[in-house]
Each structure stands twice: as C-alpha cells, then as structure tokens.
Structure 1
C-alpha cells in the first residue's frame, strides 16, 4: 500500500517513514522544508536501503494538494505530521499556526473524502488536555480550554476530523502524544531544529556540545517535587512504531469506531531536573544551566495513562528515558563531528 507522510522529513515524520519502509510500505513524503532538511532523505535511505519518493510541497496551497492527489490517485493512507509545533511561538504568532495547522488539514481531508476508503492517522498532542486535573492522563480526561494557539489547533483538528468521518468513508486514529525525544539508533536521523531549539532535549545536547552557552530551565516554583515542570518523554522510534500499528489497524478493519483516540507516552513523568540528571549520567557531561522565569503557555505536569494503547493497539513504549537521551547525544555528536 502507498502511504502519504506529510512532514515526512521532520523529526517524527522521518522516523515514521523508516518504520513504514521497514514494514514494506511504499512511502511518499511531503515536506516544505521549513523545519527540516533534504539531507534527511539520505539518512532514511542509509537505514532502510530505500529512498522514499519525495515532493517539496507547501500544503497551505490548496491547488498543490489537489494536483498531488491527481498524480498519486492510489494513495488511501495518510499520516499527517505537517504542522507548526512550538507553544511559545504560537502565542507570539497565532495566525501562522491557524493557517498552517488548520487549512492544511482541511485540504487533505477534502481530497480523501472523494475516495472509496481512506485511512487517516493524525498527529495530535497531550496539549489538548491542558492542565489535566488528575495524573496519569487517560483518553477520557476532559479536553480543557487550550493554553496556547498550538494546543488549540490540535483540539480544532480533532474536531474537524471527527465531524468529517461522520459523513465520509474516512476512518481515523488520533494519536495524542506526549514529549518525543531521541534519535534513530544508527544516528543517521534525529531531531534537527533550525535555529534556537524550542524543545528541551535538543537544547540540552546543543549545550553539552558547546553550541549553546547554557540551558534555561523555565521555572523552579511549580508544585512538583523539585519545582520544575514534569513531562512524559517518549523515544521517537517507539512513537513512530505506534503510527504504523495504528495504520495497520485501520487497513485490517480492526477499528471499533470511525475515530479512535490513543495516548502515546511511557506512563512515567520526569521533571526537567530529572532529565538533566539522566543526561549527565549517560553522557558523562556536566550541563551548565540557569533557572529563569516560567514560560507562557506551559503547564505544571503531564504524563500518560497508556492502558488503552497497550491493550487495544498492542503497543507499548520499549525504551527508557536514559536510552532516548543516549541516542539524542549520539546523534548530536555525529552531527557536529
């Protein structure tokens, strides 16, 4: 089966392309290279022995999307990653996020609704829960008022997909994931932020390698054991495998509803200081950091209850925090060698 992966050269997208090709899928990757690099194609090819078909395409242009689906009429499976994803940036530039994350989704679904059957895997986020009232977070936790435009685009995206599946042949899985980190064990692909990293782990690895002077820890006055914010950090390869399993579930008609929702995380919360300590342990590097003010849009804690993904999808995270950090450090070292 031919599968479209949007944002296919991005961090999670590229690792998912690898897992799809390892499972024998034919992949077409779309990316506008706004936060990725063509070099990623080489890495994918080195790992899998096969270069995916690639199109440099901006999904915000409706005509581009229409032309793409005319050219690739045999695509009925889509894994949709292409989106802007930084909480802080979304607060500063909300219209960019609404255009990029919502209009692209609508254009894709408009093309898929014409098909006899279509399978759609949506890259959602634990941000839809806002600051959940209880931990760990289950899929039945109420979707809270979003604390950032980014989080709001994921909520709206889920609503658009749910409404669309009611009146079309599209079946969908919404994967609400927590904090992806790490890199492929080969160190051929990994997280490659352009400019200053918005996420914790690439900022840690760039600081350790000497690219950044020091790491900023946003707030140490949260109501947590050490005062720093708690998140659920999942290895990107574990996360990529969840997408392949979800797609196969739809293809094999094992889904029990038109839209199914799964948390994808480890079920374990780690504070920012926990992550720093674990990184220092696996790397042997002492990490310079300073405590700064909290960042707007950040919540206190979020970690997943993954029972549904474990039992229904038959998926579970296999890698530890230390495994993920070690792979991220190996990738960073190779990148700067």
Structure 2
C-alpha cells in the first residue's frame, strides 16, 4: 500500500517508516521538520537502501495535504505529526490546539476530499490523566492534566464522531505508553531539541557527559524502590504495532482505541541501573521532590492489542538501552 506518514521524520514515525517499508509498503513522509532533522530522510534511505519520497509542509495546509494524497495515490494515513511536550503545552495552549487539533481536522478533510478513509492515529497514555490503578485498560475514563493530553482526547473524540457518521471509515487510535530505544543500526533514534523531556535520552546525555546528572522526582512512592514505575516499550515494537494496526484497518471499519505497551512496569532507578550496564558509565543522579501530577505506578493492560492486532511487545529493556546508547554515540547526528 501507499501510506502517508505525517510527522514521518520524527522519532516514532521514522522507525515506523522502516518497518512499513521492509514489509513491502511504500511510505511517503509529510513533515515540517519543526521537531526533527532533515538528515533523518537520508538515514532512512541508508537503512532501506532506497529513495524515500518526502514532502515538506504543515498539516494545517489543507491544499498541500490534498495534493500530496492525490499525487501519490495514497491509500492510508498514519498520523504522527503533533506537538508533544507536556510542559510547553501549558505555556502555549493555543499553539498546541491549533497544531494538533486543527491540523488533524485539515488532514481528515483532505482525506475525505480524496476518498481515503483509513487512518492510524498516534495517541498517548496521557489520555488516561492521573490513573488510580494499573494496569490501565482501554475502558479507563479519559481525562487529562495538560493541553497536550486534552488535544489527544479531542482528536480521539473527533475520530469517533467521524466513524459514527460514516461507517466506511477505518480508524485505529494507538495509545502509546513510554517509547524508548532506537533502531538496531544506530542511525535513527530519539533526538530531542534542547534538554530532553523523557528519561532515556536524558540518561544518554548524562552518560556521554552532555548533562551533569539525572533528577529523580520522588523516592517515597509505594513501589519496590520508592521511585515511579512506568511502562517502557521499545520503539521498534511500537513501530511493528503500527504495521499490525494497518492490517487491522484493512480488515475492519469503525473506530478502535488500543493500548501499545508491554504490560509491565519498571522503576526510574531500574532504568538508571540498566542504562549504566549498557553504557558502561556511572550515571549520577539526585533525588528531588515529586512533580505535580505524577503517579506512583502507570503501566498498560495490553491484552486488546494481542486480541485485535495479533501484536505484543517482544524486545526487552536491555535491547532498548543498547540501541539508545549506540544512537547517542552516532557521529554528526
């Protein structure tokens, strides 16, 4: 199939591009490179040993999207494009709603205008807000503690309404937990601008000497070592989840929301120790106060993905640590 990947040069999108291409699909990347590097395209071409079509543009540009879908005879869309920093969303809510919600509406209008009705949406476990229990299943009530999370909820509701209004649409919302790691080649990985918001790239930058130490937010939770527990999923497992979701969307119509996680949690201190082993570096850390809104334990119930998609996470955290460290040491990235 010919598949449009919005935000396809980003962290998760680029890994999905590899998996989809290697499965025989033709991927067309649509990205404005606001939070990704143009060099990702050449690195993808290196991994895949073929040219990648890339269209530079903003998802709020209906005309450009419509033209891209028509010109490239797109059959399905995987929608990764979106602003995603929780803290920044609190400071710039209008920017987040305009880009994430308005941008998705533009994309859906372009799809509707061109008769393309298969979409996989990159959602997030942030739609569960501050959950009161784990594992979290897809029936857990949706809520959010920040504009980023609310933008994901709004988009899911729009997609649900669209599927109800027109039963020929095939829509799958994938609710990611905590993606980590990199492609085994070390050529693509998580490359945040400025100080990383996520634990794994922060650890990598401490290990390489770019940052001084890791701050651990709280060690007095009701967990084995007192630090927060999260569900960390290898990005390649996540990418393969999109391939499975695409196959599902080709078999079914309607709306489905599905968790992508491992179904088990790891603590912050466990992640730090694991990364020390992979990098052979000592990673200094400092325990500081809890962050507002953080919960003790948050991990997925991943049974629905197995049942509906035939997918489950296969890689372990040691694979994620090794690949992330290999990526961190890539020259000139």
| 8 Å Cα contact 2:27-2:52 kept in structure 1 | yes
Which of 274, 287, 290 aligns to 2:286? It is 290
For 1:285-324, list aligned pairs within 5 A. Answer: 285-324=281-320
Deviations 1:138-180 (A, max 9, x none): 112221x311111111111110101011223321011111000
Deviations 1:106-130 (A, max 9, x none): 0111122234452100001111111
* In 1: Cα distance, 2:302 partner to 2:181 partner: 20
8 A Cα contact 2:129 2:144, kept in partner: yes
Deviation at 1:297? 4.3
DSSP 3-state at the match of 1:79: strand
Q: CA deviation at 1:294?
A: 3.0
Residue of structure 1 in register with 2:240 after alignment = 241
Q: Does 1:204 align with 2:200?
A: no
Match of 2:182 in 1: 183
* Aligned twin of 2:149: 151
Alignment-derived partner of residue 100 in structure 2: 101
Q: How many residues align?
A: 332
TM-score by length of 2: 0.95
Correspondence for 1:141: 140
Which TM-score applies when normalising by structure 1? 0.94
Q: After superposition, what is the alpha-carbon deviation per residue over 1:172-195, rounded to whole angstroms, capped at 9, x for unaligned?
A: 011111000100001111111111
SS of 1:166's equivalent in the other structure is helix
Q: CA deviation at 1:43?
A: 1.4
One of 158, 163, 166 as aligned partner of 1:160: 158
Residues of 1 paired with 2:178 and 2:234: CA distance?
8
Shift of 1:248: 1.5
Q: Counterpart of 1:22? A: 22
What CA deviation, in whole Å up to 9, does each residue of 1:197-216 have, x standing for no partner? 11110010011001111112
Deviations 1:66-98 (A, max 9, x none): 3433433x2120000001111122122211211
- For structure 2, the 5+ residue unaligned runs are none
After TM superposition, give the deviation of residue 249 of structure 1 in Å: 1.6
- Alignment check: 8 A CA contact 2:66 2:114 kept: no
Higher mean alpha-carbon deviation, 183-192 vs 282-291, is at 282-291
Residue matched to 1:79: 78
- Cα deviation per residue 1:29-65 (whole Å; 9 max; x = unaligned)? 0111111111111211111112210011111233433
Structure 1 equivalent of residue 321 of structure 2: 325
- Indicate the residue corresponding to 1:229 in structure 2: 228
Please identify, of 152-161 and 166-175, the stretch whose mean Cα deviation from structure 2 is larger: 166-175
Given that 1:88 and 1:295 are in contact with CA atoms closer than 8 Å, whether structure 2 keeps it comes out as no
* Alpha-carbon distance between aligned partners in 2 of 1:45 and 1:245, rounded to the nearest angstrom: 23
Output the CA distance in 1 between the equivalents of 2:28 and 2:292: 37
1:121 matched to which residue of 2? Answer: 120
Distance 1:268 1:232 in 2: 6
108-117 or 52-61: which moved more? 108-117
The equivalent of 1:214 in structure 2 is: 213
Distance of 1:259 and 1:149 partners within structure 2: 23
Contact 1:88 1:297 in 2 (8 A): no
Q: What's the offset of the Cα at 1:218?
A: 2.2
Aligned to 2:59: 59
CA distance in structure 2 between the aligned counterparts of 1:136 and 1:52, rounded to whole angstroms: 39
